[in-house]
Structure 1
Amino acid sequence: MSQPLIQLQQMVEPALNIQEMQFWLDKAVAWGQTDSLDTQKDTCLHLSRLRDFLQQLLIHINNMSSTTETMKRLPFLGQFLGRLCWIPYVTADATSRRLLFQCLWGLFSEHPGSAVERKANQWIRKVLRQLSTEEDDVAAQALLKHMGVPPEEYHVKVLRKMVALMQKNIGKSCSSLGDINQRCSCDNILATSEACVPLVTCPEAAPLIGALLEQPVTCVRAALSEDFLDALSAAHSSQCLSLEEQAVVSLWCHNLSSLEEAVLSLLECVLTNTGSTPQTIQEQLAKSLLPKACAQHCSIFSVVNDMFRSILKQAEGIEFVKYLIQTFTSRFLRELSPLRHQMSVSLKALFPQSPHSLLVPLLTPPSEMPQEAWRHHLNWLSGSLQRLTEEEEERDRDSSSSTRGHRKVFEAWFLLVQCAQWVQVAVQLLVTSGPEECTPLLWLLTFYHHPTNRGHHRALQLVRAKEAWDHLHSLFLVLGCPPPPVDRLQSLVALLSPQPEIPPLSPFLIVDLLVNFAVFSQQSLSASTEILQMVVDWSGLFDETHHVLSSLELRLNEGSCLSSHANKVHLRIKALHNTLKHGALLRTKHSHSNTTH
């Protein structure tokens, strides 16, 4: 046993474990002798235990009657604390730094009564002067009176120096070496990332974190520590860490859980916010980095798309989820457009599970196609999807392959949801269609809202959709301002009620048709608002109607709306919105009046 340990064992109080004291003395010496990656990693791994020991040591110092007694019992305490003051990883940690300097403060005597205490005070002042950015005794005295904590500037300086050293340790990756025989330092990346775990919430560590995340993975030794990635993900999601955009994208590439959390957070904003509207969804996506990240990395898009596919299976009838998926896909494609020639990525690679024949027709936005071609294009899409579903029904006769058929139709529907602007174009064209022209467009609309035959009875739903179109066509065909036929309105609303063994027609299907007829038909505005208001009052579909009106207004602004009189359409949409709001206000007042009485 070493002489210092023998003396410590004789002098220390039972409250302090002798073996633990020796352990930390050895650690302090070892950490101070070299600044290797192994040393950095070892320091970071032991920080938590060191804090506990310093807390125990502080209690011990405070229980002593004087510094003379403390130094008599622990003669090597000054050496131990002094060594720790010069280890950047210890002083960079806020809790360890605070405990360390509280221990120094505990040793400082305001009225030194012996040579030992005077010498101790002189040493403490010297340490604090050297550690602080100020050089005069006045600054040191001020620090002592505030529990001995040096100015913040010093710690920032120490932390930046330590970050610079760690960043230098990353070295060159394989891809930057000119000589293939030259050894790369990719093996340092793992150790550096592990050593960086305690620093993830320090703003000064941002350059190092960014450098680690953006380091090209050129060999197996260039992997980042899972603890580092998990710590980054937790800090970023709790907003304790601010990262540059590219660093966030790199984090998503390295850490699947952080990417999944970002997608779930986006979905949660839509599903839990009772005030969600098409505008708020657009705003959420405008602030989100996910569409841009998906355009830069196909692997990210694949994960996000799989999550959307999964949530859509569970939330088939939630229109806000459909709208989110459609808007996200649209933004992703806009971000991807200028990058495609650089990345040489095909649509088949981006949408591997979708029917390939439908990719280009659906992913081409209406704004990029002449309006005269829209009807022919939609008829082709409707026919292609109808053939796909008929093939599924044939496969259903063979139980061994029915699952495969169902999956194929689901993928076609999922792609249609992603490109739902074409469905909205179909609804708009239904306003000016005749009875012979409306069938393929109604089939497409019905398929969008009722994609599978299992439990949906798509064929019967198509018949009911045709009835809804007939009622609306009759209501808006007669120009002028006669009172709308009550029987037609009642029959229209009745289609929302379930029939024996048949689920009700989707409210959004009827509201889609109703709003488009009110906006684009030649019917007068006063008659259109009266019809819309009566249907909304009887059906209670205020939120659904508001959603469709808002999304229609956004489409008009984007240019994916067929209209030669955009200003007139905007005015009609505004008037219909005001009618809805006025009706809602009257219902609220009436309800309040009934409650009061």
Structure 2
Amino acid sequence: MSQLQPLIQLQQTTESLLNVQEMQFWLDKAVAWGQADSPDTQKDTGPHLSRLTSYLRDLLTHINMSSTTETMKRLPLLGQFLGRLCWNPYVTADDTSRKLLFQCLWGLYSEQPSNAVERKANQWIRKVLCQLATEEDDAAAQVLMKHMGVPPKDYHLQVLRKMVALLQENIGKSCNSLGNINQRCSCDSILATSEACVPLVTCPEAAPLIGALLQKSATCVRAALNEDFLDALSSAYSSQSLPLEEQAVVSLWYHSLSSLEEAVLSLLESVLTSTGSTPQKLEQQVAQSLLPKACAQHCSIFLVVNDIFRSILKQAEGNECVKSLVQTFTSCFLRELALLQPQRCVSLKAFFPQLPQSLLVSLLTLPSEMPREAWRHHLNWLSSSLQKLTEEEEEGDSSGTRGHHKVFEAWFLLVQCAHWVKVTVQLLGTSGPEDCGPLLWLLTFYHHPTNRGHHRALQLVHAKEAWDHLHSLFSVLARPLPVDHLQSLVTLLSPQPLQPSLSPLLILSLLASFAVFFQQSLSGSTQIFQTVVARSGRVDEAACVLSSLELGLNKGSCLASDTNRVHLRIKALQNTLTHMHAAWSPAEHQAHTL
């Protein structure tokens, strides 16, 4: 008896849900929807589809637990209800609803009818199933041919395709070339058409119509799209149940803020959770997201994406993964912007409205667009301009006027345009003590933009100390290496409790620059590089720095004229890290990871 109790409870539950009154409600809906040929009924169908699907599932459970005679006796409106749904193309266009209808009908079919009710039901079901069977539903076709001897037909697909073709044709005609300024644009029909498409967003046959709607709305201000349609598209696209062409995706983001935000956050999540990603892989991932292309085409999309990055960096300015993503994204965006036709380009000030024009142009100019001999002067000017902003901020703090906004925006753009930071690091690897002051300030500002606890001056002292140690090490030709300088670098790379520590990536960047660009032998440079990295345990960070340096050089930001020599030295250092990583024991790996 205990084994039957769950079945009894389930039957009682379904019987309480599937009463005559609820069936009457859905039948009234099916009657009202009719052939879904008016905007009001089309608009009403979409929001009710999910509830209808749930109801059909409950109905199927009830049908499978009872005989056809018992079911028809309890629910006398069932045949009329299912029949009307089968003739509604907006219901049958949904794959889930169509399959549930098929299962309900097949559940009512009696293999061996025992009375007139079941024989009449079988006759009616044979006719209706012809409509539901499509050329893509092989299982349905086989059941029909095997058990009933009825050939499957593609009525549903033909109706749907004709409807889509008609609506798509109307869209093509909807926007007139307004030669007369008094002529009215007829794109108002786009709104009604998008409402009608809500139930069709996951239907492959409707993809051309959906793409046409999105494209039309991007070219005509009168071509408004229904919010329910945009929400349905966003949900279907995020769940990968709606394939869209690239330009349709861009148009969807242009019209749907929630869809755009979801795409940015999805990219962020994938970057932050991926392990072992190289700068090259990150660039490929960002480019494939289509977001840089969308931002280049629509300034409004760029401002939204940029604001998301800005907000995240305000909370975690030291997160190197986020900074790398922002840098890579901006690089891809600028490349896409350069590919646009001149008539489609928007002024850079529109994309970056919160910064002085001089600073904006200086940072957005690529190193490859400027002679190498001008790089140092350019960076000295940038350093001087940014120092002036920070001084104004500190003066504002002392007088009660907050100036953090300008400094943060300047730092944010410096993060986005990190190509100049990479050039700074290269120049520091070849500079003398008298030339490194402004460059060290710029590099320190990049890694430590805020002046929390008034530590900026102290960070600059530590940066100069690290540079001095490196310069001394790489200037020594005799062996052994000076132990004091080596140990001081290792100490700087190790976080000190209760003390503001210098960014390890700052020191590792300088170390890599000296090893690649300083006029020291390859064997000597490799020994210094290997010793410092091994003692500090920062193999993974050092590998990331080398990959980033290599990527920058490939884009024309190489200080040295002999690029082959530079790449060979980078490869040698990378091989050293690979051997070092392989030689570590599991315990050492865990310790350095911690």
Class of the TM-score when normalised by the shorter of the 2 chains = 0.7 to 0.9
- Give the 5 Å matches for 1:478-493: 478-479=476-477, 482-493=479-490
- Residue 527 of structure 1 and its aligned partner are, at CA, apart by 1.1
Matches within 5 A, 1:474-513: 474-479=472-477, 482-496=479-493, 502-513=499-510
Give the whole-Å Cα distance in 2 for the aligned partners of 1:500 and 1:116: 85
Look up the SS of the partner of 2:237 in the other structure. helix
Instruction: Give the aligned length.
Output: 573
Aligned residue identity for 1:277: T
In the superposition, relative to structure 1, how do residues 511 and 518 fare at CA in structure 2: closer, same or farther (>3 Å)? Answer: same
User: Quick one: structure 1 residues 269 and 77, their matched pair in 2 at CA, closer, same or farther if it must change by over 3 Å?
Assistant: closer
Shift in alpha-carbon separation, 1:241–1:372, aligned structure 2, 3 A: same
1:305 matched to 2:306: yes
Pairing 1:87-486 to 2, within 5 Å after superposition: 87-106=88-107, 108-111=109-112, 121-129=122-130, 142-143=143-144, 154-167=155-168, 172-173=173-174, 176=177, 185-216=186-217, 222-339=223-340, 341-399=342-400, 401=401, 403=402, 405-455=403-453, 457-479=455-477, 482-486=479-483
- Which region of structure 1 is more displaced relative to structure 2, 193-202 or 172-181? 172-181
Farther-moved stretch of structure 1 (231-240 vs 364-373): 231-240
Residue 562 in structure 1 maps to residue 563 in structure 2: no
**Considering only CA atoms, is the larger Rg found in Structure 1 or Structure 2?**
1
- Partners of 2:468 and 2:153 in 1: how far apart? 75
Deviations 1:124-143 (A, max 9, x none): 44444466579xxxx98841
After superposition, the Cα gap between the structure-2 partners of 1:570 and 1:128, relative to the gap in structure 1 and judged at 3 Å, is same
Query: Which shows bigger deviation, 267-276 or 214-223?
Result: 214-223
**Cα drift, residue 106 of structure 1:** 4.9
> For residues 107 and 373 of structure 1, do their structure 2 counterparts lie closer, same or farther at Cα, with a shift above 3 Å needed?
closer
Q: What amino acid sits opposite 1:44 in the alignment? A: G
1:533 and 2:530 matched:
yes
**Identical counterparts, % of pairs:** 76
Q: CA deviation at 1:422?
A: 0.9
Distance of aligned partners of 1:406 and 1:130 in 2 relative to their CA distance in 1, 3 Å threshold: closer
Residues 435 and 279 of structure 1, relative CA distance in 2, 3 Å threshold: same
The DSSP-based 3-state class of the residue aligned with 2:355 is coil
Q: TM-score, normalised by structure 2?
A: 0.86
Cα separation, partners in 2 of 1:540 and 1:22, compared to 1, 3 Å? closer
Asked whether the 8 Å contact 1:54–1:99 carries over to 2, the reply is yes
Cα distance between partner residues in 2 of 1:14 and 1:573: 74
Residues in 1 aligned to 2:36 and 2:261: alpha-carbon distance in whole angstroms:
40
Distance 1:513 1:456, change over 3 A: farther
Counterparts of 1:460 and 1:222, CA distance in 2: 58
Q: Which amino acid aligns with 1:507?
A: P
How far apart, in 1, do the equivalents of 2:80 and 2:397 lie?
A: 82
How far apart are 1:363 and its partner, in Å? 0.6
Any unmatched runs of 5+ in structure 1? Answer: 1-12
Separation in 2 of the partners of 1:250 and 1:148?
48
Aligned residue identity for 1:254: H
State the partner residue of 1:39: 41
Query: Does 119-128 or 419-428 show the bigger shift?
Result: 119-128
After TM superposition, give the deviation of residue 145 of structure 1 in Å. 5.2
Cα distance 1:148–1:474, how it changes in 2: closer, same or farther (>3 A)? farther
Contact 1:128 1:150 in 2 (8 A): no
Write the distance in 1 (CA, Å) between the matches of 2:215 and 2:56: 37
Deviation readout 1:207-229 (Å, 9 max, x if unpaired)? 12212222326888743233322
- Maintained 8 Å contact 1:105/1:148: no
Distance in 1 between residues matched to 2:71 and 2:436, nearest whole Å:
94
Deviates more, 1:348-357 or 1:506-515: 348-357
Q: Within 1, Cα distance between the matches of 2:150 and 2:537? A: 65
Kindly indicate whether the alpha-carbon contact (under 8 Å) linking 1:213 and 1:251 is maintained by their aligned counterparts in 2.
yes
Corresponding residue number in structure 1 for 2:11: none
How far apart, CA to CA, are the structure 1 residues paired with 2:35 and 2:425? 76
1:16 to partner: Cα distance: 6.4
Instruction: Give per-residue Cα distances to partners, 1:67-100, cap 9 Å, x unaligned.
Output: 6x87788777655544433221232233433343
Letter of the 1:581 counterpart: T
Q: Write the mapping of 1:12-27 to structure 2, written as runs, cut at 5 A.
A: 17-27=19-29
Asked if 1 retains the 8 angstrom alpha-carbon contact of 2:327 and 2:418, the reply is yes
Moved more, 509-518 or 462-471: 462-471
Taking structure 1 as the reference length, what is the TM-score of the superposition?
A: 0.85
Change (3 A) 1:98 1:244: same
Alpha-carbon distance, 1:301 to partner: 0.6
TM-superposed deviation, 1:501: 7.1
Determine whether 1:548 maps to 2:550.
Answer: no
Rounded to whole Å, the distance in 1 between the matches of 2:497 and 2:91 is 74
Distance 1:550 1:86, change over 3 A: same
Look up the SS of the partner of 1:215 in the other structure.
helix
In 2, Cα distance between equivalents of 1:510 and 1:15: 69
* AA at the equivalent of 1:514: L
Question: How far apart are 1:410 and its partner, in Å?
Answer: 1.2
Distance in structure 2 (CA, Å) of the matches to 1:141 and 1:492:
75
Closer/same/farther in 2, CA of residues 242 and 418 from structure 1, 3 Å limit:
same
Q: Name the CA shift for 1:131/1:567 in 2 (closer, same or farther; >3 Å).
A: same
Q: Closer, same or farther in 2 for the Cα pair 1:395/1:26, shift >3 Å?
A: closer
Question: Which SS does the other structure have where 2:452 is aligned?
Answer: coil
State the alpha-carbon separation in 1 of the partners of residues 205 and 122 from structure 2: 33
8 Å Cα contact 1:542/1:580 also seen in 2: yes
CA distance in 1, matches of 2:492, 2:53: 70
The CA deviation at 1:431 is: 2.0
Moved more, 559-568 or 583-592: 583-592
